[in-house]
Structure 1
């Protein structure tokens, strides 16, 4: 005998919450998986959303056609959930096989044609379609089975199930990104969702036996087609009409019009309502990306906000279902309010820049601050999205109620659900491929809102309850007023859209900045902003500046120019014959322009996913002219994986310069799988040049990306482009010797010279080390190779961006002050007379020229002109304490000497340190206290790069009876360890650490240097 519906309902709602959780885990993970084949998170999200909804529509329709023939619907639901679970468990190995087949056989066979462009979309869709069909079948099966047990509670059943599924989906969206992916990676998260589905299947099977299913609709009262002219009923399970406000039973809507007409009408309305809702979802996400940042975290927070709105709309219907006498009337009102709230959301969006600005300024840049920022982001997303989504969540249960009460039968549940999900697909495609290109994101949302309100009034006109015409007219006038206000007040300041408030905390750019280009592309909103002086401009994607440069070569270069010119120059410097070049990412076009400055390049193909970036960067004019005008330059708007694989392309050089790894989808371009893919498309003597940002990221994440690169490229070198940009040159085989003679061409030489790249010495200055240095860095952080399927960078980089972290350990190895890389044989300092252009945004050039000035000061020579700095002040202090005979204040003298040593010894070769530390002219060493003599010996040995002398002098300094200042003690420890390494005594490095290092606090300058020396020694010991 069936159990009480309340207990049954609680069990089924819990099961459907779990089912919704698993379903959104799948959707989230499928976006990650298919992003690896489509190349951009936005495209992957669009495809997954379309196929997810389309498959569900087909599954819902199919199940709706079968429910009246099946006795045990809950058992059928259990079978569907079980099949989904098995698919989840099998998906990862299935995807690996699909990827290998696609990249290795299918795409090369298809070549460059349309089929190669369509293949990733079609094959990706087919890959997830079976599970989507099964997911779509679950709601009609469960709801119809539930309704058979509780026929009098159609509204409560439907609203409750919509709420349960939506709530579970919101939890799944957050759980996938914030819990499952960090803990288990994509394979483990997918398997977890599969296990959840299997548990749901087991629970549904148990409930099926518990309630004793087995009754079909009575003979003679079965399902009728829409064209039968009569009202179809659920037999003995037909729900009675709920009492209206006055207590009388409402008249069946089906008595007022033909069942077929109402059915077709509701299907059309459900389709349109679903389309408008998903236009909103895409539009809101695109708008809020400019405010919250295009990160994996922000996307899932926005998705959860949308799903929560839908869920609570369903809950409202569940709680009030018995009081709803005219479902079409309530649905019409909900549609009108949905449109109005969507118009209001546009106005709210315009104000979100100030809210996020306040949030950024109020929070500390700490992990807890980022947690609060995420909560604040969720609140902003809810404020913008929840109201309209709430009314959207009401509509589908109300449409289904109206159809059921008109005698639509069990199959009506599936048909309404299918129509709504088909509409969702149409909305996604309409927004991405029609509305955004034609009218932009904001007006796309506005047009959908107008459509929603019109749909609401159409529903009101078809409702059984006739509203007074005066009230309807007042509502219509109110809607027009809200529309006008939305259009007027909802226009955001272009300077706010380009400001990147989520990074800077400034809600808008300075009023002098001019936004000369602003366009909503299919994947991002792109702006070009000209400075107030009009002499420079930046191209900005979703608020994130991707490149900035000056218009006139006579002006000093911007930091980004140093990066882009070096990235373009390095392949020309190291490759003897770079005939065919592939570039990933257009940016400003300056890297492509630089490479084309060489006549040795025969063809250059630049792959860019967003056409608006290419269009906007054209405004940089002559600075990037070759990229646009040179016939060797070819731009392809596609995903690099797909394009490179099509036609079996092979290049002499591949340059990869994507955006920052915290940007959603970009981190997949820094994985072992992607580097293996790039290596397969390089010639045997090819070169990979990888741009890697060191700002808004920490050492550990840089290490895991370098670990991925080194796992596929056995040889690599690191260069510093500016203070915070790294460039890696990787080789599949032997390293090519650089040759500046290859940088031919007058125009190219002029462009290189202004960025400090006119000589071999300037390139050598920027080189930080080779493979051994990079492997030591990776080992120091015990960094596993970054993987497509364990997206550590995408998950952690948004937090490092918020905290404003910088990865500077590799830079500190070069300019810490001691000859670390000299002794390790990885780098040599440039001589004082080397033609080094000092650049404000390049720390190595500043350090080198600063060392030259300090050396001149200590030798009593005329120092090169420069503004007074900390180094000069320390040198003056050191001279003042040293020129009057024996040093009296040893501690002050030692501190000043340590500061000058940091600024000179590691930056100049031994011959340029004579008279400075080697046989110093500025101090009479013979009359000094023992501590001063020991320190002079210590720094002289380090300046001479003499390992034996370094070790002996360091031992003597560390053994002084009176402790030296901490900075000097740390110098002595590092010099002792370097001397030990220079003498191949690796065991002494760890012994020195135990005997002295544990007791000597680590400064920020030397903390990781000391750790890396120990790692290097351990590597040497292992052989």
Structure 2
């Protein structure tokens, strides 16, 4: 009874140990991702080294532990050492990265040598703990068996279950609790502390054991294991070790294959990966639990293991079909759930269920094999050293499986066929073990197993096919399991890091996607209307040509469609354009864009490097005049590390004097706080930065290391560029200026308003929170709203320049271009007494209100209709007042010609004066006239106009150098004026601006 209680204590400690062990595996992936550049590579290395180190540790334990008397004490000491190393890992890693990037990699010009250094040095960071972790299972198992030698199967199964169960919870806790709360350093220290606690607990158990040892005659120590090896043991040991190796290989082929395919259904996020990992480990855990419960009744462990292998192969074949159906399950989830925080929680729960449906059955049988193989050897007199040998063979097989899957099987046959091949290997191994057990007897079970394998293989091959139109759909974003009718998929490839698809829509638009997430779309010819992505990529290439005085050497991070590189090469200024892309399949797939990206492939100045940006830049200490960074979306696992203060510092170190960075970032599927934390990181390194908006949801930040020089607009007049730029609304300096949101002062105030801290490699708030924003469909467009809300905030406070234009210039989709077009259409309507709906472009919603305002203003506005008139004025002025330059304001809001001032009610005159002051950009008048309008009761002046006047008064006060007036206005009237969503952000933004000026009167912004 006493030993049973001590055994339960050991199982409890091993649960905690497993919990800490998976923290290490998960966090090492994040750390190594900063070195290797892609989450897939980091996960591969971590899996390989983690399992390899554990294999070495298990082998060492099998060789040495049999001579140790106090195995439980040895286990405790090992846990203590693991914990101490965990406590110091973070500072060691930071020193390693600095040494690598500043000393080693700059001295290496060969990519092969650089990669070898990274993989070997990265492995060495993990090897000590991995080896020690590998020793824990065999040493604790042997120590526990000495307490309960009559319950070998229960001990082995129980420890395997407890450690795996702890690991499953560790994976979940890392992503959903520890990382958000503590960051990577704190999470790593937490694991270290847990190991130290386990070590102390093991010491306590050892003291209890040695203080009152159980007599040898006790019934508890009567062993079910023979004291001498059987004659069958040598042959059995060889078979078991080979079988353990094979099942270890196939298990991790499954894991990688399942993750790769589920990424395309669930989205490649940190949350989805940890959910999948937990589902896989949970299956292993319950397989061990089954062996623990049934061990006493198992007479032939090899026969049980044989059937487990067959069932594992059959379950893996079924998983191929389940993976094909998973896209439809996720589509149902997306359609059923509200886009809220609770909806995301339910989506995560649904993702866990989908992962379990795919992974759990095969993982369950995989979890049975190791305890059964070990039990078979122990019952044949193999001794406790066999525990470490079996564990070592299994983990060594896992390494081979990981490397073979990533570097051999996926490139050769793709993910689905790799899974089928691994399943056949498991089933074949099970059939062999059946023949090994009963070589002369053809049992019914053997025949049924063989027939089932053939039937299930046919089932998986036929019904498990993955429709390319499903893989291209991006169901985790669109809620559609299949792309629209008429869409073709001419390119599909499983690359080493991701699955790349290129699809062609019914209108000919070509789209390229990574794991179902669209990365770029282009119209097939220049004669067709451009896509929104085209504006972004062309502007990313054109900006540095204009803004840098001599952009000879340019680097582009991310191939995408190749259009950015193509645009840069349309100019003779760059002498070399190096494009760094980590997935070769993206480069190959983008060839479907044809002549649209021709120069990227054919111009001799274009150089492709299939590599990680950090590694490529570090090799030979390369420096550039311009770096254009266009990675994937920051919610994609591993990508957010390209939007951190550390990475921006790294990029700055690889710029020549006067160099600049053009950074793409999304405004869609993101919120203001997450965008602000990335902007804050950029400003820490590049204080002189300015923001541009290209379309409705893509942003470009131009970050300089030197003072701005006069733009070289002549760079855009070369024939190749003059063909392409006007088509996307970038044919003139005015059209570039139109897309400029603001400079450093505006961006710093944006960061302060969001109370954002700079994004850091080691506190991955973006990768942790962006998937939720994506699910909720949030947008980070608040900063854009201050440009076109009707009050010239940026123009008055940050000197943003509005530009005059003709209505015909704005026929492309861009947020500010559409706003300008609407404003010009309103101007035409007010001056000419009518308008054509087509003049309003994509948003004619203000045409009816403009015409109603004209009708209300044909004669004196009746007192009873002033409220309605002010409501109409609010809508029409908010759609035009801040978008028109002074020359365009005449007759519209400056000295309006569409309404006579004679005999108008005083409220109407005061409103016209306030709008006239804003049209003239007269800060003092803006404040004074707006205050007059605010004094009218809500029954006279619309609350919608009052909120506009409130914002106008704050801007007037700030622009005239009186932040105290702005703050007093907010204090006195802020609670009485209704602030709608249109001006809510502007209110907060201006309040922050005023507070900053009040606290630091000499501050530039």
- TM bin (shorter chain): over 0.9
1:949 aligns with 2:925: yes
> Which residue matches 1:731?
704
Alpha-carbon spacing, 1:414–1:858, altered in 2? closer, same or farther (3 Å): same
Distance between the aligned counterparts of 2:157 and 2:444, measured in 1?
32
Report the 3-state secondary structure (helix = DSSP H, G, I; strand = E; otherwise coil) of the residue aligned with 2:725: helix
Alpha-carbon spacing, 1:253–1:487, altered in 2? closer, same or farther (3 Å): farther
Provide TM-score, normalisation by structure 1: 0.95
Greater Cα offset, 456-465 or 924-933: 456-465
Superposition deviation, residue 838 in structure 1: 2.5
Distance between the aligned counterparts of 1:944 and 1:739, measured in 2?
31
Contact 2:557/2:630 (CA < 8 Å) preserved in 1? Answer: yes
Once the two structures are superposed, residues 823-852 of structure 1 have per-residue CA deviations (whole angstroms, 9 ceiling, x without a partner) of: 11331211144873321x311111111111
Distance between the aligned counterparts of 2:436 and 2:407, measured in 1?
33
Distance between the aligned counterparts of 2:140 and 2:717, measured in 1?
72
Superposition deviation, residue 739 in structure 1: 2.7
1:884 aligns with 2:862: no
Contact 2:578/2:606 (CA < 8 Å) preserved in 1? Answer: yes
> Which residue matches 1:240?
224
1:1009 aligns with 2:986: yes
Once the two structures are superposed, residues 927-951 of structure 1 have per-residue CA deviations (whole angstroms, 9 ceiling, x without a partner) of: 1112111111111111111111111
Give matches, 1:76-87, under 5 Å: 76-87=74-85
1:991 aligns with 2:965: no
Distance between the aligned counterparts of 2:931 and 2:873, measured in 1?
18
Distance between the aligned counterparts of 2:532 and 2:357, measured in 1?
38
Distance between the aligned counterparts of 2:541 and 2:972, measured in 1?
48
Once the two structures are superposed, residues 65-115 of structure 1 have per-residue CA deviations (whole angstroms, 9 ceiling, x without a partner) of: 111110000000000000000010000000010000000000001123421
1:854 aligns with 2:838: no
Greater Cα offset, 204-213 or 37-46: 204-213
Distance between the aligned counterparts of 2:430 and 2:156, measured in 1?
21
Superposition deviation, residue 466 in structure 1: 7.5
> Which residue matches 1:906?
882
Moved over 4 A (4+): 213-218, 251-255, 464-468, 861-865
> Which residue matches 2:533?
560
Contact 2:161/2:286 (CA < 8 Å) preserved in 1? Answer: yes
Distance between the aligned counterparts of 1:71 and 1:213, measured in 2?
15
1:783 aligns with 2:781: no
Contiguous gaps of at least 5 residues in structure 1 = 219-235, 242-250
Superposition deviation, residue 387 in structure 1: 0.2
Distance between the aligned counterparts of 2:222 and 2:690, measured in 1?
75
> Which residue matches 2:950?
973
Give matches, 1:437-836, under 5 Å: 437-463=411-437, 468-533=442-507, 535-833=508-806, 836=809
Once the two structures are superposed, residues 591-612 of structure 1 have per-residue CA deviations (whole angstroms, 9 ceiling, x without a partner) of: 0100111101001111100000
Choose the corresponding residue for 1:321, options 290, 295, 298.
Answer: 295
Contact 2:743/2:798 (CA < 8 Å) preserved in 1? Answer: no
Contact 1:762/1:835 (CA < 8 Å) preserved in 2? Answer: no
1:1019 aligns with 2:996: yes
> Which residue matches 1:931?
907
RMSD: 1.8
Distance between the aligned counterparts of 1:113 and 1:889, measured in 2?
75
Distance between the aligned counterparts of 1:518 and 1:895, measured in 2?
54
> Which residue matches 1:139?
137
Greater Cα offset, 869-878 or 766-775: 869-878
Distance between the aligned counterparts of 1:500 and 1:653, measured in 2?
33
> Which residue matches 2:188?
190
Distance between the aligned counterparts of 1:966 and 1:834, measured in 2?
32
Choose the corresponding residue for 2:66, options 56, 65, 68.
Answer: 68
Contact 1:239/1:405 (CA < 8 Å) preserved in 2? Answer: no
Distance between the aligned counterparts of 1:452 and 1:470, measured in 2?
19
Distance between the aligned counterparts of 2:711 and 2:4, measured in 1?
77
Alpha-carbon spacing, 1:935–1:467, altered in 2? closer, same or farther (3 Å): farther
Contact 2:834/2:851 (CA < 8 Å) preserved in 1? Answer: no
Distance between the aligned counterparts of 1:497 and 1:580, measured in 2?
37
Distance between the aligned counterparts of 1:42 and 1:75, measured in 2?
38
Contact 2:571/2:720 (CA < 8 Å) preserved in 1? Answer: no
Superposition deviation, residue 1018 in structure 1: 1.9
> Which residue matches 2:39?
41
1:32 aligns with 2:27: no
Distance between the aligned counterparts of 1:567 and 1:294, measured in 2?
26
Once the two structures are superposed, residues 663-686 of structure 1 have per-residue CA deviations (whole angstroms, 9 ceiling, x without a partner) of: 000000000000000000001100
> Which residue matches 2:873?
897
Report the 3-state secondary structure (helix = DSSP H, G, I; strand = E; otherwise coil) of the residue aligned with 1:904: coil
Superposition deviation, residue 465 in structure 1: 9.5
Once the two structures are superposed, residues 889-935 of structure 1 have per-residue CA deviations (whole angstroms, 9 ceiling, x without a partner) of: 11111111001101111001122111111111111223111211111
Distance between the aligned counterparts of 1:889 and 1:913, measured in 2?
25
Distance between the aligned counterparts of 1:215 and 1:609, measured in 2?
59
Give matches, 1:21-170, under 5 Å: 21-170=19-168
Report the 3-state secondary structure (helix = DSSP H, G, I; strand = E; otherwise coil) of the residue aligned with 2:846: helix
Distance between the aligned counterparts of 1:340 and 1:239, measured in 2?
36
> Which residue matches 1:873?
848
Superposition deviation, residue 216 in structure 1: 14
Report the 3-state secondary structure (helix = DSSP H, G, I; strand = E; otherwise coil) of the residue aligned with 1:729: strand
Superposition deviation, residue 745 in structure 1: 1.7
> Which residue matches 2:898?
922
Once the two structures are superposed, residues 691-749 of structure 1 have per-residue CA deviations (whole angstroms, 9 ceiling, x without a partner) of: 00000000000000000000000100100011000000001222233231122421111
Distance between the aligned counterparts of 1:339 and 1:277, measured in 2?
10
> Which residue matches 1:262?
236
Superposition deviation, residue 4 in structure 1: 2.3
Report the 3-state secondary structure (helix = DSSP H, G, I; strand = E; otherwise coil) of the residue aligned with 1:925: coil
Report the 3-state secondary structure (helix = DSSP H, G, I; strand = E; otherwise coil) of the residue aligned with 1:547: strand
Superposition deviation, residue 578 in structure 1: 0.3
Superposition deviation, residue 214 in structure 1: 11
Contact 1:262/1:403 (CA < 8 Å) preserved in 2? Answer: yes
1:376 aligns with 2:350: yes
Distance between the aligned counterparts of 1:794 and 1:1013, measured in 2?
30
Contact 1:576/1:742 (CA < 8 Å) preserved in 2? Answer: no
Distance between the aligned counterparts of 1:465 and 1:783, measured in 2?
70
Choose the corresponding residue for 1:274, options 248, 255, 260.
Answer: 248
Provide TM-score, normalisation by structure 2: 0.97
Choose the corresponding residue for 1:424, options 387, 398, 411.
Answer: 398
Distance between the aligned counterparts of 1:181 and 1:823, measured in 2?
42
Contact 1:338/1:452 (CA < 8 Å) preserved in 2? Answer: yes
Instruction: Kindly tell me the number of residue pairs found equivalent between the two proteins.
Output: 992
> Which residue matches 1:294?
268
Choose the corresponding residue for 1:336, options 290, 299, 310.
Answer: 310
